[in-house]
Chains A and B, each alone.
Chain A
Amino acid sequence: MRTIAEPLTTTSALREFLHGLPGVDEVGIKARATALGTRSIKNDSKSWAIDMAIRMVDLTTLEGMDTPGKVRAMCAKALRPDPTDPTAPSVAAVCVYGDMAPVARAVVGDNLHVAAVATAFPSGRASIEVKLRDVRDAVAGGADEIDMVIDRGAFLAGNYGLVHEQIVAVKAACGLAHLKVILETGELRTLDNVRRASWLAMLAGADFIKTSTGKVPVAATPAVTIVMLQAVRDYCALTGSQIGVKPAGGIRTSKDAIKYLVLVKETAGEAWLTPDLFRFGASTLLNDLLMQRQRMAVGHYSGPDYVTID
């Protein structure tokens, strides 16, 4: 079994470790994703999966046009997604820009997590001082989860030491807040890079690794998510600590969400099937989950006017 030689902080030590990880065969992993996509989830399993998926949603609004009113409405929906059915669970968290964290916290109180994107989201192109100030602002505003972006430019240039150093610094600035590290896999392009970036983030102290900002054309895919789930599984075997995974962007239907839960179960294992270790970064997914949930309860589809649009 692989071991981690101390200390893994310099670019050369990190390069040696990250480039020593087994490669990822894209054809093979896509075939695996397709095969797992044919799992047929019915009846009780489907009901269970839909409720679990709702509990894993980070209900997200990350727009320049976000207003306090919009954020408050979304938070109300996050607390009680289906006003007609008290048995529908709440989502895991709301995810907003840092300046909206106080607004969100005021609505959800201690009932939900408040995640804030920080570190010059989504591009990450700012000095480390600006990024850290962004994080401290969000934490002070009530965020208990920080979604940071890595410096993809530094990663692609092979400057692993810098990426590592920045994640460590952000983690320190987070204090007690959980740190999700966004790899922006759509910009890393290769699955080898996704595997290396996943390990780099975990070695630097990430509590979660997250696929995407949702601001570049390619967001979460099943293949990318499998690679990240393999990384957290192998990291746990090596260190004993469980790191979470958050695919974000592009997951819009219940059917897709259930496929992701199948990936989790059959790649990382059942232990990861909890909102503490797996999240969906999504906005429109929630309503589709609710419509499916209503259909499971009453036997027929309702329609988009029977779920709220907040």
Chain B
Amino acid sequence: MTFEYAPAPESRAIVSIASSYGLFINGEFVDPTGGTTFKTVNPATEEVLAEISEANQSDVNAAVNSARQAYDRIWSVMSGRDRAKYLFRIARLLQERAREFAVLETLDNGKPIRESRDIDVPLAAAHFFYHAGWADKLEYAGLGANPQPLGVAGQIIPWNFPLLMLAWKIAPALACGNTVVLKPAESTSLTALLFAEICQQADLPPGVVNIITGAGETGRMIVEHEGIDKIAFTGSTEVGKSIARALAGTNRKLTLELGGKAANIVFDDAPIDQAVEGIVDGIFFNQGHVCCAGSRLLLQESIAEETIDALKRRLQTLRLGDPLDKNTDIGAINSREQLNKIDELIKSGDDAGAQRWTAPCELPDKGWWCAPTIFTNVTQAHRIAREEIFGPVLSVLTFRTPDEAIEKANNTPFGLSAGIWTEKGSRILWMANQLRAGVIWANTFNRFDPTSPFGGFKESGFGREGGIQGLSAYLQSANDGADRARGAS
């Protein structure tokens, strides 16, 4: 007998999923006025988990009105110290109910429980703790003596880190004194709706957080709503561009966190074993559904063959399967549409003549799955080297000199993140100055922390989330003056 790991599934008994959900407006769950619903599905089994309400224009209006009233009457006039109390309370409740959130996130999203348990949920709580600390110290944010909130924030988040992206959006907005209308992605609404329960449990004043569900059309209503002072969007570059067009010429603020095609650059003096781990973390973490994923591996030619062999050996130990199993490394692809898109780009790599290698793993019969895939012999011209795949697909390119690495890394319309692997500290600093990317990791990849600002260059968006820099996305800057106050135009 060999050392096979017996199934070790996390129990789903801890979560109770209702058969249908309303919209969370003004502190209560209400039925949608239109009565339209859609289904949310477990991507690992295709089992329907619940019916979700689709918010129409009058629902969006109600949510924005509720946020406006909460802003005017309660939240904007409450002291920072009191706002902090609520945020600390939310953070602690997230920790207390961490297992419930982790299991629910895994059921609805398809990501492995190891990641939802060890990364998504703890980091979400950390964002609330961090921003709770800021709430009564905003005068030290570098934005003047008494920085003022913007008003009502409309926030639209993606399906890849549903709860974590919610935390990235809601925590700074609330800490700075704004109220929010948040829309989760249509395929992953459940943890946002459970978060609504946390808001009730924390006695958060009604209307400070409103969560409305729906698809792109609901998102468009939020974007175009005159009563919203600021839009924060995380998602695709395509949608981000249309939002930027919609807000052009209005008085509403915007931050965008969009796609990426990050270069993970490995030099011949890198710690190879850890670089291999970093490559794996970079592109196979969360099935590659990560905007800052290290989807382009740039290997120095002198170590290319050795590193690819080591990478293939490592990928054979990745465990794909039941996301609730505590030993699963690679979970399910979130939706059939996403799987189709990944498959289409894989085919384009084959057609372009890149060499494909797929990790030998058995795919379950039901659900949507994609085995970890590596393409070698990739050139800058291939679609798989230019377009964001948002799946477990790595394109490997080589370079000869540091200058060539910089040129290739920067030769993309995106600029969200990059990784540098070398034992030479001076080269790390030199490279970091040349790379046009908002986040640069050295000898690690995909590490997140609420104290560290996150955001992009070029088509990866603008604005930062996290750290002191992230606060300016939710506060008026000193020279915004009184004209930013609502009512003036």
Contacts and interface: CB of A to CB of B under 8 A. Distances in A.
Given A1-B305, A38-B326, A25 B443 contact: yes
Interface in B66-106: none
A29 B3 contact: no
A46 B6 CA distance: 8
Nearest to B317: A266
Contacts of B1: 48
B432 interface: no
B444 A27 contact: yes
A45 B3 contact: yes
A34 to B, nearest CB: 9
A84 interface: no
A69 interface: no
A45 B5 contact: yes
Interface string A262-286: 0001100010010000000000000
A217 interface: no
A41 B423 contact: no
B47 interface: no
A46 B1 CA distance: 13
A1 B270 CA distance: 15
A284 B107 CA distance: 42
Interface residues of A, number: 29
A261 B6 CA distance: 14
B8 A273 contact: no
A265 B3 contact: yes
A274 to B, nearest CB: 11
Category for how many chain B residues contact A: 20 to 34
B327 A39 contact: yes
Nearest to A265: B3
A40 B3 contact: no
Contact of A28 (B4, B6, B278): B278
Given A1-B305, A23-B271, A29-B273, A45 B114 contact: no
Interface in B126-152: none
Interface string B3-42: 1111110000000000000000000000000000000000
Nearest to B314: A266
A290 interface: no
A44 B274 CA distance: 32
10 contacts: A22-B270, A22-B273, A23-B270, A23-B423, A28-B278, A38-B326, A45-B6, A261-B3, A266-B317, A270-B3
Interface of A: 1-2, 22-25, 27-29, 31-32, 38-46, 48-49, 52, 230, 261, 265-266, 270, 273
5 pairs of A and B residues whose beta carbons are closest in the complex: A28-B274, A40-B8, A40-B326, A25-B274, A25-B271
Given A27-B443, A39-B327, A48-B1, 17 more contacts: A1-B305, A1-B306, A22-B273, A23-B270, A24-B271, A28-B273, A28-B278, A29-B273, A38-B118, A38-B326, A40-B326, A40-B327, A42-B7, A43-B6, A230-B273, A261-B3, A273-B3
